[in-house]
Amino acid sequence: MATNKPVDVVIVGFGWTGAIMAIELAQAGLNVLALERGEDASTVPNWAYPKVVDEISQSARNGLLQNLAKSTVTIRHHKDDRALPYRQIGSFKPGTGVGGAGIHWSGVHSRVMPQELRLRSHITERYGRNFIPEGMTLQDWGVTYEELEPHFDRFEQVCGTSGKAGNIQGSKLDGGNPFEAPRSHEFPLPPLTDPPTSALFAKATRELGYHPYPLPAANASRPYTNPYGCQLGPCNFCGFCSDYGCINYSKASPQTTILPVLYRMPNFALRTQTHVLKVNTDSAGKVATGVTYVDAQGHEVEQPAAIVVLAAFHLHNVRLMLSSGISQPYDPDTGKGTLGRNFCYQLLNSVNLFFNQNVYINQFMGAGGVGQAIEDFYADNFDHAKLGFIGGGVIWGRQTGNGPVRGIPLPSGSPAWGSGWKAAVKQNFLHTGRIESQMSNMAYRGCYLDLDPTYRDAYGTPLLRMTLNWQDNDLRMSEFFGEKLSQIGKAMGATSQSGRVLKRGDNWDTRAYQSTHINGGTAMGADPKTSVVNKYLQSWDVSNLFVLGANVFAHGIGYNPTGLVGALAYWSAANIRATYLKNPGPLVRA
């Protein structure tokens, strides 16, 4: 096997977290190498107009997504079932190549609610220990909102996020989210213009006594130059966001916000078409010596490094940990082991609203992150004592942009083809909106990740196996949200509603797209018995290994995860720079 020259830092995966860690550590003077198994890509030529605004290549044929022929996961609902491969893209959409899922994301840019980072303590303090049901493995994350706040702020400045503050340093501000945790600064850009769905949603929810606010969006509302000097142009609501690369340099991605500056740094290098197989450790398993990857020609290469950073998508980070034998795999029977534990997702209820012919929604216009939302039922913003569930979610009226190949929603009972279908699409296409609730998913003893005993990827490595299903607590919550959605839809003036509300008895359906917000499996925390990484995202077992991504979440929050994922990457990088580099070793004593 060939062995490359050692580097200071090797980064596995080059999406959002890889780009953040790369620029922050390169600016600290380290020699940084990023390994990316996909191709390089940039706005021009890859997402230039009009080539990329093509529903066939991008939405119907998954142009920007991971090719599952090479690698996928297997899924089952319960540990006694046989897991089956996720053969086609459905419920979640892993990205590929430089930029990763940061290219085809929609841009909703939320933070976290402080109580979510200490959810076990919070629930116990407010409702008592017995309120947490048997089998729910709630735990605190080991980090506080106050510690992360400068890094949330930093990531918003980098992304040029559009929004309106509701709480700056404890002062409540009109027009923002009244439930918001204190922010150090206003959003870098003002909110985007409300499309028709969002305007109707804001009016209706206000009249119902709720508190609508403009959803923070990493879609620029104005021209913007970020702290690295990268420039964004204003979003023109083209309607091609989720599934698409941005034609306008408006949606924040590694390409629009970090890479133009990073690529000019002489101490940074990127090697594409390198698929990392494992993290190598010394004979004691205490120090990472580097990684082994397969290059484009199929040859195995060893890359030595002083620091190893796992910055791939959730699935690959967890699988690399399992393949590398770092940390003890979780055993659902005994509850022992940490790796694979607290694997979570999110629940999503999606309701289509059909309006009269004089109400123009124009669903083809929109932006991924634009919308109005309420947090009256987020996290523990509302009293759960009599509700019988833990958790909550955000309810929004977004207008993300939709075209006919992506699917034209129709009222219940409409035919799927023939003249009746034609009449229905013609009548409804311009007059349909959508509201949703995106809800937390608690951690459970029986929901976890491990390696599949049967199925392998194109490199001969076992696939990651997901064991996960919706649980009673979360489905009760979903039913609660179903009622709220129906109430809001009526208040918006919809003549009929159709869609999907998860109810007790429903299983996780992997076919229909829901969100790519899978999380957990290498949970962060204060206790090495229940977490894989410490509060700085440093491996408890191998102190020169840092693991980024939503896989460090201890439970599934209701917000879109990118804002938290980015802030955690900045937080980890800041602590490596300020503390670790001066004195390499564990940043927290176990």
Give me the active site residues, please.
517
Q: Which of 44, 296, 423, 590 is close enough to bind other proteins by CB under 8 A?
A: 423
Examine residue 422 and tell whether it contacts other proteins (CB under 8 A): yes
Q: Which of 1, 2, 45, 69 is close enough to bind other proteins by CB under 8 A?
A: 69
Examine residue 236 and tell whether it contacts other proteins (CB under 8 A): yes
Q: Which of 26, 30, 238, 394 is close enough to bind other proteins by CB under 8 A?
A: 238
**Which one of the spans 72-80, 436-444, 477-485, 560-568 is the region binding other proteins (CB under 8 A)?**
72-80
Residue 137 or 441: which CB sits closer to other proteins?
441
Nearest approach, Cβ of 170 to other proteins (angstroms)?
33
In terms of Cα–Cα distance, which of 179, 14, 150, 169 is closest to 567? Answer: 150
Tell me the C-alpha to C-alpha distance, in Å, between residue 434 and each of 356, 395, 496, 554.
15, 11, 12, 30
The whole-angstrom separation of Cα 75 and Cα 466 is 5
Residue 197 or 562: which CB sits closer to other proteins?
197
Nearest approach, Cβ of 400 to other proteins (angstroms)?
12
**Spatial strand order in the sheet of 73-76:** 84-85, 73-76, 462-467, 448-456
**Which one of the spans 25-33, 268-276, 479-487, 505-513 is the region binding other proteins (CB under 8 A)?**
505-513
**Which one of the spans 3-11, 68-76, 126-134, 320-328 is the region binding other proteins (CB under 8 A)?**
68-76
Q: Which of 265, 405, 578, 590 is close enough to bind other proteins by CB under 8 A?
A: 405
Residue 18 or 239: which CB sits closer to other proteins?
239
Strands (E), 355-484: 371-374, 393-398, 432-439, 448-456, 462-467
Q: Binding string to other proteins for residues 185 to 224, with x set by CB under 8 A, is what? A: --------xxxx--x-------------------------
Nearest approach, Cβ of 346 to other proteins (angstroms)?
17
User: At CB < 8 A and 24+ separation, what contacts does 408-415 make?
Assistant: 408/432, 409/352, 409/434, 409/498, 409/499, 410/498, 411/354, 411/496, 411/498, 412/496, 412/498
**Which one of the spans 97-105, 164-172, 202-210, 231-239 is the region binding other proteins (CB under 8 A)?**
231-239
**Which one of the spans 120-128, 180-188, 229-237, 543-551 is the region binding other proteins (CB under 8 A)?**
229-237
| Apex 573 CA angle, 113 and 98, nearest 5 | 95
Q: Which of 47, 105, 179, 237 is close enough to bind other proteins by CB under 8 A?
A: 237
Helix H or strand E segment including 168: strand 167-168
In terms of Cα–Cα distance, which of 184, 150, 147 is closest to 167? Answer: 184
Nearest approach, Cβ of 9 to other proteins (angstroms)?
32
In order, the DSSP letters of 528-586 are: TTT-SB-TTSBBSS-TTEEE-SGGG-SSB-SS-SHHHHHHHHHHHHHHIIIIITTS-S-
In terms of Cα–Cα distance, which of 345, 328, 344, 325 is closest to 336? Answer: 328
Examine residue 88 and tell whether it contacts other proteins (CB under 8 A): yes
Helix H or strand E segment including 171: strand 171-172
**Which one of the spans 47-55, 167-175, 272-280, 528-536 is the region binding other proteins (CB under 8 A)?**
47-55
Q: Which region holds residue 239: left if phi is over 0, alpha if psi is between -120 and 50, else beta?
A: left
Residue 388 or 415: which CB sits closer to other proteins?
415
Nearest approach, Cβ of 206 to other proteins (angstroms)?
17
Tokens for 571, please give them. 């937080």
In order, the DSSP letters of 86-154 are: --S--S---B-STTTHHHH---B-----HHHHTHHHHHHHHH-GGGSPTTB-----S--HHHHHHHHHH
Q: Which of 82, 264, 386, 589 is close enough to bind other proteins by CB under 8 A?
A: 82
Q: Which of 155, 201, 240, 553 is close enough to bind other proteins by CB under 8 A?
A: 240
Residue 135 or 403: which CB sits closer to other proteins?
403
Site for other proteins in 362-381 (CB under 8 A): 362, 364-366
Q: Which of 359, 379, 443, 550 is close enough to bind other proteins by CB under 8 A?
A: 359
Half-sphere exposure of residue 516, counting CA atoms within 13 Å on the CB side? 22
Q: Evaluate whether 324 touches 28 at the Cβ level (below 8 Å).
A: no
User: Is the peptide bond preceding residue 234 cis, with omega within 30 degrees of 0?
Assistant: no
Examine residue 296 and tell whether it contacts other proteins (CB under 8 A): no
Tokens for 330, please give them. 């979780």
CB burial of residue 344 (10 Å; 0-12, 13-18, 19+): buried
Q: Which amino acid is at 238?
A: C
Q: Which of 28, 40, 79, 90 is close enough to bind other proteins by CB under 8 A?
A: 90
Grouping H, G, I as helix, E, B as strand and the rest as coil, residue 373 is strand
Examine residue 507 and tell whether it contacts other proteins (CB under 8 A): yes
In terms of Cα–Cα distance, which of 370, 423, 421, 432 is closest to 400? Answer: 370
Q: Which of 42, 43, 62, 257 is close enough to bind other proteins by CB under 8 A?
A: 62
Site for other proteins in 453-472 (CB under 8 A): 454-456
Examine residue 234 and tell whether it contacts other proteins (CB under 8 A): yes
Q: Which of 20, 75, 103, 113 is close enough to bind other proteins by CB under 8 A?
A: 75
Tokens for 351, please give them. 């309701």
Examine residue 430 and tell whether it contacts other proteins (CB under 8 A): yes
Kindly state the number of chain residues that form the binding site for other proteins, as judged by CB under 8 A: 67
Examine residue 417 and tell whether it contacts other proteins (CB under 8 A): yes
Nearest approach, Cβ of 359 to other proteins (angstroms)?
7
Please, what is the angle between helix 145-159 and helix 562-575, to 10°? 110
Q: Which of 14, 16, 47, 86 is close enough to bind other proteins by CB under 8 A?
A: 86
Strands 371-374 and 32-36: unpaired
- Interface residues with other proteins (CB under 8 A) are 49-51, 53-56, 60-62, 67-69, 71-72, 75, 77, 82, 84-88, 90, 193-196, 199, 234-240, 247, 359-362, 364-366, 403-405, 408, 416-419, 421-423, 425-426, 429-430, 454-456, 507-511
